[in-house]
Structure 1
Amino acid sequence: MTVSRVLRNRGDVSEATREKVLAAAKKLGYVPNRIAGALASQRVNLVAVIIPSMSNMVFPEVMTGISEVLDGTELQAVVGLTHYKPDREEQVLYEMLSWRPSGVIIAGLEHTDASKAMMRAAGIPVVEIMDTDGEPIDSAVGISHRRAGRQMGEAIVAAGYRRIGFMGTKMPLDHRARKRFEGMTQALAKAGLEIEDREFYEGGSGFVKGREMTQAMLSRSPDLDFLYYSNDMIGAGGLLWCLEQGIDVPGRLGLAGFNGVNLLHGLPKLLCTMDACRNEIGRRAAQLIADRVATPDQGRGAIIELSPEIALGDTIRRAAAD
């Protein structure tokens, strides 16, 4: 009984006895059967984290935030990747829920009807992350991407740019990029402007795509004076191409991305960008789950909207934009 209490981290056991039991378990290579232990409670101490990708810099930082919080609890994150495909998300969610996790953290607010039904019927805390522009199943932590797009559009207009091009992922696959695009076009419309050229791509973000799209867009629309990229990685590729061509950035051509990727601080110029609050989103989402597991009604229905800020960098006319 004493060993059982130690291994389940329960009961009144002296620290000396606890250390002896844990040392013996470690020496024997013993791992407790969590599934057997979960039969009575019908739950395992797993938090299903369902995200689109780990191939860029966005979601690893979210995962870091989640881990920083869950490391102080009995909960453990288990990750499933959807590759931005709704049907894949549905399959991953089905498999994850079959293990009866204690909670779900899932990217985005847009899901198939079947995925929504599964989350509503699961009877566990569900936190949708990255986006607050919509109605969550339960709770949500993120930013307003429409507001972020409007803020960037307002900064572009204030800096004196008038002929704007947009580059990003194909909108049906990236709802958050679509909302930023919508927000930016609203801000431009208030100033009597509109997007003059646009380019979309599929697949992972990268420098090469940014270079290729920038070259193609400026070849067909040489009078553009600002390029807005849906993420920093393609924006960095575009910046490098422009500098190689001797284009005056930000005088002749302004550039901006999104995500605030620290990796890009080594570029010849700092890209104008906006921090997506990735680590804080992960931390807040994990804390909501941990709180709800401890106290089921605490935080139910919470919507936490964080406020990203524009970092002007070196690729927008700073004096006019300030």
Structure 2
Amino acid sequence: MTQSRQPDIRRPLTLRDVSEACGVSEMTVSRVLRNRDDVSPATREKVQNAARSLGYVPNKIAGGLASQQVNLVAVIVPSLSNMVFPEVLSGISHALDETGLQPVFGVTGYSADKEEEVLYEMLSWRPSGAIIAGLEHTDASRAMLENSGIPIVEIMDSDGSAIDSVVGISHRGAGRQMAEAIVAAGYTRIGFLGSTMAADHRARKRMEGLTEGLAEHGLALVDTELYSGGSALKKGREMTEAILSRNPDLDFLYYSNDMIGAGGLLYCLEKGYDIPEKLGMAGFNGVDFLDGLPMQLATIDACRYEIGVQAANLIAGKDTGGIIGGHRIELTPQLKHGDTIRKS
């Protein structure tokens, strides 16, 4: 694990900032943002555009508390049905125990626009901090986060620049780590199975790292099979059947997550594939349900629980010398060979 800190000083935006940006009075800005109907459409549009561009979020706390923050921590993740994120949330909840801070969860469904909506609503209640999955956001979301005036921790990914603090792993590094294991075991015809890359930035980075790592050994992906929607065992089976039907001589399948990898493993065992001698397989995340499979699927432990704990500790100011903000913590993912990669 590596940890570094960069100083960061921010203040929350005010009505005056919006007023100065659009050239109307603070009272008019307030009327627009409270949805009063005594403002012309042109002025309303001017104010709304300025507020969105700046990242200003109105304060929904009652007047007596308007200058204060509440003891809530906004936690925004792509999914609760995916087995990955509940473990992250568990780490956050555990670390916030007895701190006086309470996590409140929002779900984006891997949609950048939905993330923007959830973030706007959560920040309007002036939480004491925010934990948000990923480093990629819309311009409006980024502006809201940058100007919130509270500690922000982006989690799960360290491949990129952070708004404030970041806790995660290098997904490109994880992809390269898997490439090295594949090459060391003697596999040469590799297929990649994963989600469509537009929404799942971390899967895209793992694929890029895998491709870069293979290229260093003169290898390239033979085929890819991509899907959209939630991960499922059934989907993994279908994808595996499709890619092996097109390319029956593939000797390694790398899945972007353990769920579709487990489905692929079950399919291949039913069809009598010689695993791992003739066909190697690996997933990603290191989820607990892999322990119940007939064979142990190779995977990379993505440090999910520890990411949650570390992120919550930063929000709560634990083990930071009293300094909140500007921290960078990169955890080291662990490769588990399981039973589905040949012994090199």
Please report the TM-score for the alignment, with normalisation by the length of structure 2. Answer: 0.80
Map of 2:225 onto structure 1: 199
- Give 3-state SS (helix, strand or coil) of 1:180's partner: helix
Map of 2:332 onto structure 1: 307
1:53 aligns with 2:53: no
Paired with 2:64 and 2:230, the residues of 1 have a C-alpha distance of 39
Map of 1:19 onto structure 2: none
Q: Calculate percent identity across the aligned residue pairs.
A: 68
After TM superposition, the structure 1 = structure 2 runs for residues 234-313 of structure 1, keeping only pairs within 5 Å, are: 234-291=260-317, 298-313=323-338
- Give 3-state SS (helix, strand or coil) of 1:271's partner: coil
- Give 3-state SS (helix, strand or coil) of 1:77's partner: strand
Instruction: Report the CA distance between 1:38 and its aligned residue.
Output: 7.1
Paired with 1:234 and 1:42, the residues of 2 have a C-alpha distance of 46
Q: Is residue 231–residue 259 contact of structure 1 (8 Å, CA) maintained in 2?
A: yes
1:150-196 Cα deviation digits (max 9, x unpaired): 00001000000000000000001100000000000011001100000
After TM superposition, the structure 1 = structure 2 runs for residues 123-162 of structure 1, keeping only pairs within 5 Å, are: 123-162=149-188
Paired with 1:288 and 1:262, the residues of 2 have a C-alpha distance of 27
Paired with 1:311 and 1:298, the residues of 2 have a C-alpha distance of 36
After TM superposition, the structure 1 = structure 2 runs for residues 1-322 of structure 1, keeping only pairs within 5 Å, are: 39=65, 41-291=67-317, 298-318=323-343, 320=344
Paired with 1:37 and 1:272, the residues of 2 have a C-alpha distance of 55
Query: What do you get for the CA RMSD once the two structures are aligned?
Result: 1.8
Deviates more, 1:297-306 or 1:143-152: 297-306
Map of 1:15 onto structure 2: none
Paired with 1:116 and 1:298, the residues of 2 have a C-alpha distance of 22
Structure 2 counterpart of 1:70, one-letter code? L
- Give 3-state SS (helix, strand or coil) of 2:286's partner: coil
Kindly tell me the number of residue pairs found equivalent between the two proteins: 285
Q: Which runs of 5+ in 2 are unaligned?
A: 1-60
Paired with 2:251 and 2:320, the residues of 1 have a C-alpha distance of 54
More helix by share: 1
Structure 2 counterpart of 1:116, one-letter code? R
- Give 3-state SS (helix, strand or coil) of 1:228's partner: strand
Instruction: Report the CA distance between 1:58 and its aligned residue.
Output: 0.5
Q: Which runs of 5+ in 1 are unaligned?
A: 1-34
